[in-house]
Amino acid sequence: LDDGRLTDGQGRTVDFTNAELVKTSNLAVDPRDFFKPEFVNRIDEIIRFRPLTEADLAQVVEIQLGALRRRLEQRRLFLEVDGGALAWLARRGYDPDYGARPLKRVIQREIGDRLAMALLEGSYGEGATVRVSVADDELVLTSGAT
C-alpha cells in the first residue's frame, strides 16, 4: 500500500491511491502493544471507542426494533414495547466482549420467532397491536386492538 497499489493473492493489482482503509479491532490492549511496528506505522490514527452506556444500548434496541416494526407494518400489525421490555432486551442483548452484536439475535429469538409462531397460529389479526412487556424476568407478548 505504500505506493497506492494493492496486489491480491492471484497477482492482480488494484489502484488504491484514492482509497481510505478502516481497520477495526476488539483488542483490549493498545494496538501498539499487540501488532508489529511495521503494521502500526502504516496506521495514521487510532481511535478508541468508549464502552456503550445504558442510554446507548436503549438507542440500539430502538434501532433494531425499528426494522421489526417496519416488517410488521407491511402486514398491518403494530408493535409496542414498554420500558421494562426495552431494558430487558438491552441487558440480554449486550455482552462485555461483543458489545451489542448479540442484540439482533435476542430480538429475533425473543420477539420475532415467537411472533412468527403466533401469526401462524392465528393469534394476531390484521390491525392488531402486539404489546411486549416483562413478567417474572421473561418477555410477554399480548394482543390488543389498535
pLDDT tens digits, residue range 57-76? 989 999 999 999 999 999 99
Per-residue pLDDT of 75-114, as tens digits, reads: 999 999 999 999 999 999 998 878 888 999 999 999 999 9
Q: Which amino acid is at 119?
A: L
Cell of 71: 416488517
Contact in structure between 47 and 41 (CB atoms under 8 Å): no
Q: Is residue 116 in a domain?
A: yes
Q: Return all residues near 13 (Cβ < 8 A) that are at least 6 apart.
A: 5, 6, 7
The total number of structural domains in the chain stands at 2
Cell of 73: 407494518
Angle, helix 83-92 to helix 54-73, in steps of 10 degrees: 110
Q: Is residue 84 in a domain?
A: yes
Domain that holds residue 32: 5-40
Contact in structure between 132 and 117 (CB atoms under 8 Å): no
CA–CA separation, 77 and 75 (whole Å) = 5
- The reported pLDDT for the residue numbered 1 is 61
To the nearest 5 percent, what fractions of the chain are helix, strand and coil?
40, 20, 40
Q: Is residue 75 in a domain?
A: yes
Q: Is residue 138 in a domain?
A: yes
63 and 35 in a common domain: no
Cell of 1: 500500500
Q: Is residue 35 in a domain?
A: yes
- The reported pLDDT for the residue numbered 146 is 47
Ramachandran region, residue 99 (left: φ > 0; alpha: ψ -120 to 50; beta: rest): left
For residue 119, which phi and psi values (nearest 5 degrees)? -65, -40
